[in-house]
Structure 1
């Protein structure tokens, strides 16, 4: 259901871009934790609607022009299969399809995240690089989980500045 909402929302925004006064080629996704996973799915599953099209808006692309998953969850197979082999392999979740069409991606994570381990972002970044997708990975030494909510006097306090700098670098701002 969440992916349906995300796909539809991107298409609605793109369809109404002129009305909203925005560039239809500068629409992105960002999410945190489970929402980070949704940002990943939105930026990888755009070629196939997760619902039956209902109107002409659904003919408009739902591919985001950039993605910023912040401490994304459920990125590897270990959340589905908790065997030692699955944990050790650190394989990308099979729900995530890698292609060369994935938009530029900025992953942000804290090394000491106790909820969504940093290797979730590392594994995804590795797979994107292998596919030739533009990807940047920022790993802060401390910050834990949910650092996007408030400043903590840690390196993660600069995540918004780092994200803005990246958006400027890829010419989205």
Structure 2
């Protein structure tokens, strides 16, 4: 916790906001499908590009960043950091994004979902997170029906799965929160990956897009090796007549978060901010 506070101060994040941050463990008892003992996530030795990378998540948590008092719009956003389903780029695609959302009046929830290579567990964690936030919405002055989700890279994949597989029962209910819907109100996929695993790089068969899929915002670039994911997902959403907004820039690569110095990283936040004003109404 102390390390996170120091990091946020270095990034110029309001430490008063951080002081209000709290941690919620998703699973009060056993974690479904998990064989390893519950423990705090481990930080990898790789800290390149000023990115803190977590792995060995066996006790999934939500880190809550409430919107500043007097500036809350009643909307919650769950953030899924990326990392190839192997690690979580927790500051680049988690805490820094939470700070940005707070400034806009959104209450943010950074999800530490299970890694490495636990895609089924990650979806269970995402569904549980949406339900838990809804069940406790009054604590943060949120409207339960206005809980969305966003993700980066593999977190974008997880967001797409949560947005299309919300009717799939992936775990046995553990409390009253699990009686609530797992369908997010909206979703945002920033340089998403793994959405084009179908034949000839078409939509991943697991993703069940239909007219009930929530509205989605997609941002990617042509020079991103995973850029086709955003294109095929946008096409599927359009075919299903789901409200979708796609921005596809020429340059930017992959894994830039919202940091300055990358044209794509500087562009998508303003575009998403405008989109959210309609999608999260």
Higher strand share: 2
Does residue 1:96 correspond to 2:207, yes or no? yes
Q: Pairwise mapping of residues 4-43 of structure 1 onto structure 2 (< 5 A)?
A: 4-43=124-163
Q: Secondary structure at the match of 2:149?
A: strand
Q: Does the 8 A contact of 1:143 with 1:152 survive in 2?
A: no
1:83 alignment counterpart:
none
Give unpaired runs (5+ residues) of structure 1.
Answer: 79-85
| Cα drift, residue 25 of structure 1 | 1.7
Higher helix share: 1
Q: Which of structures 1 and 2 has the bigger CA Rg? A: 2
| Cα drift, residue 100 of structure 1 | 1.1
- How many residues end up aligned between the 2 structures? 161
Q: Does the 8 A contact of 2:258 with 2:269 survive in 1?
A: no
Q: Secondary structure at the match of 1:53?
A: coil
Q: 1:153 to 1:123 in 2, by over 3 A?
A: closer
Q: Structure 1 length as normaliser, TM-score?
A: 0.88
- C-alpha RMSD of the superposition: 1.4
| 1:96-149 deviation line (CA, Å, top 9, x unaligned) | 1112111000011011113x1x22111111011111111110111111001215
Give unpaired runs (5+ residues) of structure 2.
Answer: 1-120
Q: Pairwise mapping of residues 13-162 of structure 1 onto structure 2 (< 5 A)?
A: 13-77=133-197, 86=199, 89-114=200-225, 116=226, 118-162=227-271
- With CA pairs under 8 Å and 6+ residues apart, which has the higher RCO, 1 or 2? 1
Post-superposition, which runs of at least 4 consecutive aligned residues in structure 1 deviate over 4 A? Answer: none
